[in-house]
Amino acid sequence: MQGEQSGYRKELEKAAKQMILIHRVDTLVKIILRTTIRILRIEHASLLLFDESRNAYVAHTSRGKAGLKIPKGFTRISKENPIIRYFTDWRSQVPETDYLLLSQIKDSLDPFNEELKEQFLLHNIKACIPGFFRNKLIFVLFLGGKLDGRDFTAEELGFMSVLSSDIVMAIQNARLFQDLDEQLLKNKNLFLQTVFALSSAIEAKDLFTQGHTERVTHYSLTVATELKAMDKINGMDTKRFFENLRISSLLHDIGKIGIPEAILNKKDELSEEEREQMKKHSLIGARILSEVDEFYEPILGVKYHHERYDGTGYPDGLKGEGIPLIARVIAVADTFDAMTTHRPYRASFPKEEAISIIHKESGRQFDPAIVEAFLSACKKGGI
């Protein structure tokens, strides 16, 4: 008996450690049932979990032999179900009862005896284990018969009662993580909507660059995809990099909001003074976005996409790999789109000529690795 108890303890410790790491309720329930069937060697097990939105207990899943699972019609039960009421209404009268056996019902004088017995027999249940969080019934675990036909021992049910407290905490933990994930997704969607709104605001002010931000974003992501294929961006979180690159390229000219429209929409070439004022848009953009924590990384592309690989760019004269990668990518995409777009003071460059110019500027204006990825994307028809 001592060896058997030791084995249960090890199983419980292992199960508890595994459960607390699961952050999806459905996945957690499957693990709970699989563990229960293995430990107790029973025919089937099911778990009814309280659903706040339905104000009822819902069977998320069941495990066991075919034909011994809880039937489809038994997927949801109300708080008034005899099994639920047994634990919620009468548990305070029998605090030592942390489980309910079919054998208990047979000998009980409880007025709901017949209803309880009917529920147990109808669904082939031999025992129930409740899971409480404080005074709230979170779930009921239904246990089918043992494979060897024997009755459950007090030790087995006692260990399952101990496990139920771990299950409750694991379920509460998983629910918190799911709620957090849902909230983060809502916030992310709202954040992206704000990005698109800001991007539209830029183009509404600069009449000569309609579609510029979307094209630069497309070129930037295409070049980054080539960089990834060439193993040039190893050692970083590529998913995060692509997300930041998308946001940064959409907002790379956000600072133009602070530039006078007379300069933005001038039909002749800018004067030296006007060019100097235009250069301020990268710093203005960085300052605008600095108020939002989520823009911490995208700001790097906004602020530094006019830096040059040889160190002669602006605003800080950064050089080589001292320029953030996100900015080096946008620099190529931005220049290519500027050259291939018609402006009032000059005609657009033919695509092949623009590609040739970028190639010549490798190592001077642009990072050679970015240029290589850009040329590869052009050959594949991505640009």
Burial 108-136 (b: 16+ CB within 10 A, else e): eebebeebbbebbeebbbbbbbbbbeeee
pLDDT of residue 350: 95
- Asked if residues 382 and 229 have their Cβ atoms less than 8 Å apart, the reply is no
**Does one domain contain both 216 and 261?**
yes
**Does one domain contain both 161 and 191?**
no
**Does one domain contain both 79 and 152?**
yes
Number of domains in the chain: 2
pLDDT of residue 339: 95
Residue at which a domain ends, from 175, 197, 224? 175
The tokens for 131 are 């899971």
- Asked if residues 40 and 71 have their Cβ atoms less than 8 Å apart, the reply is no
**Does one domain contain both 141 and 199?**
no
Alpha carbon distance, N-terminus to C-terminus of the chain: 73
Q: Which range of residues forms the domain containing residue 88? A: 2-175
pLDDT of residue 175: 82
The tokens for 283 are 């710093």
d(CA 69, CA 28): 18
Residue at which a domain ends, from 175, 205, 228? 175
Residue 239 in domain: yes
**Does one domain contain both 228 and 375?**
yes
Residue 128 in domain: yes
Query: In a 10 Å sphere around its CB, with 0-12 CB exposed, 13-18 middle and 19+ buried, how is residue 374 labelled?
Result: buried
Residue 20 Cα to chain centre, angstroms: 19
Structure confidence by residue, pLDDT tens digits, 25-49: 888 888 888 888 888 888 888 888 8
Residue at which a domain ends, from 108, 140, 175? 175
pLDDT of residue 376: 96
**Does one domain contain both 28 and 121?**
yes
pLDDT of residue 61: 66
pLDDT of residue 80: 85
Q: In this structure, which amino acid lies at residue 232?
A: K
Bond into 315 cis (ω within 30): yes
Residue 348 in domain: yes
Residue 181 in domain: no
How many C-beta atoms surround the C-beta of residue 357 within 10 A?
Answer: 14
pLDDT of residue 113: 64
**Does one domain contain both 86 and 131?**
yes
Residue 180 in domain: no
Q: Give me the average pLDDT of each 10-residue run along the chain (383 residues).
A: 57 68 80 85 87 84 58 67 79 56 62 65 79 87 89 84 83 78 70 73 66 93 95 87 93 87 83 92 89 84 98 97 97 96 84 97 97 96 92
pLDDT of residue 73: 44
